Amino acid sequence: MLEGVFNITPTPFCEDGSLDLPSVQTLVDHVVRHGVDGITILGVMGEADKLIDQERDALITATLEAVKGRVTVCVGATHAGTDGCVAYCRRAQALGASAVMVAPPRLARPTDAALRRHYLEVASAIDLPVVVQDHPPSSNVVMSVEFLAALADEAESCRFVKLEDEPSPPKIGQLIDANPAVRVFGGSGGIMFLEELRRGAIGIMTGFGCPEILVGIYRAFVSGDENRAAEIFYRYLPLVRFENQARINLAIRKRIYCLRGAIATARARQPASELDAGVLVDLDDLLTRLHLKESS
């Protein structure tokens, strides 16, 4: 159930900053139509830290109702405290999620022992796979290959890792060598997706405004046509690069989804970075040249 292309969907907002639940349906239909294997909500690009608990519940419920069992739904459940993380995970399970994604808590002095206790307590509290999110830029925590490999042996549900510790391809290869039971997803917008697949990744969990591109790369690769996967990857890499710009990546991504009819507005919840006129011109040029402006 947990492999392939998982689109980390943005949280849709109305122009007044409130949740846009009707756009959840159009967004889900959009990414499912483009062939994704799963959807991950309430990730970093889902602006999870800007939602209150009632909004989290509303978004999870709306997403699951829109999906109607067509694809797997993974719910971000990261919290600064272990008790809070457990509560988020239990709530996600109660609402019908198929998996949860948990980044390490920000600690003044993170240690392997503290992180181990956190993940083992979370894993023992629910009956769902726990995708361990290894993304130091957002968590400020670096998890070693040895730690992740050992954690997977201690808790079978923690054998899934979303690895975004750069450079990701070498670490993916090292982790799989250290523990072949670990199942690794790439991330980081897809910027190293081809290389991650070559190192043994089982797919990707990332937000990307044109998920059908990642689906095409993945399908070609797993079918044994690596040349075709490389052709697709290198053709669209300029867009992957452009969308991954620091601080404005969410704004660009939402703009793409809005242009393609997946969400009603490109609004992000404040405080948020805005796109200037030059970025909009460059984005329009890219989408036009790549024939990606239409939802299709």
Q: What is the largest CA-CA distance in the chain?
A: 51
What is the pTM for the complete model shown? Answer: 0.95
Q: What is the CATH number of the domain that holds 227?
A: 3.20.20.70
Question: What value does the mean pLDDT take over residues 31-40?
Answer: 98
Residues 6+ apart with CB under 8 A from 251: 266, 268, 272, 273, 274, 275
Say how many CA atoms lie within 13 Å of 191 toward its Cβ: 15
Q: Is the model's pLDDT at 223 over the cut of 60?
A: yes
Question: What value does the mean pLDDT take over residues 213-222?
Answer: 98
Q: Is residue 241 part of a domain?
A: no
Q: Is residue 138 part of a domain?
A: yes
Give the range of the structural domain holding residue 41, as residue numbers without chain letter: 4-236
Residue 296's pLDDT is: 45
Question: What value does the mean pLDDT take over residues 127-131?
Answer: 98
Say how many CA atoms lie within 13 Å of 164 toward its Cβ: 24
Q: Is residue 164 part of a domain?
A: yes
pLDDT tier at 124 (50, 70, 90 boundaries)?
very high
Q: Is residue 266 part of a domain?
A: no
Q: Is residue 81 part of a domain?
A: yes
Q: Is residue 121 part of a domain?
A: yes
Percentage with pLDDT > 70 across the chain? 99
Question: What value does the mean pLDDT take over residues 182-191?
Answer: 97
**Residue 280 has which token pair?**
């909009």
DSSP structure class, residue 158:
G
Q: For the chain, what is the domain count? A: 1
User: Which one, of 43, 21, 5, lies nearest residue 250 by Cα?
Assistant: 43
Residues 6+ apart with CB under 8 A from 33: none
Query: Using one digit for the tens of pLDDT, what is the confidence trace for 56-82?
Result: 999 999 999 999 999 999 999 999 999
| Under 8 Å between Cβ of 283 and 232 | no
Q: Is residue 283 part of a domain?
A: no
pLDDT tier at 107 (50, 70, 90 boundaries)?
confident
284, 288, 291, 296: CA torsion to nearest 10: 50
How many other CB atoms sit within 10 Å of the CB of residue 189? 25
Element containing residue 283 per DSSP (H, E): helix 277-289
Phi, psi of 41 (to 5 degrees): -115, 165
Q: Is residue 246 part of a domain?
A: no
CA dist list (Å): 37 to 10, 214, 231, 282: 17, 11, 22, 30
Query: Using one digit for the tens of pLDDT, what is the confidence trace for 149-184?
Result: 999 999 999 999 999 999 999 999 999 999 999 999
Question: What value does the mean pLDDT take over residues 222-249?
Answer: 97
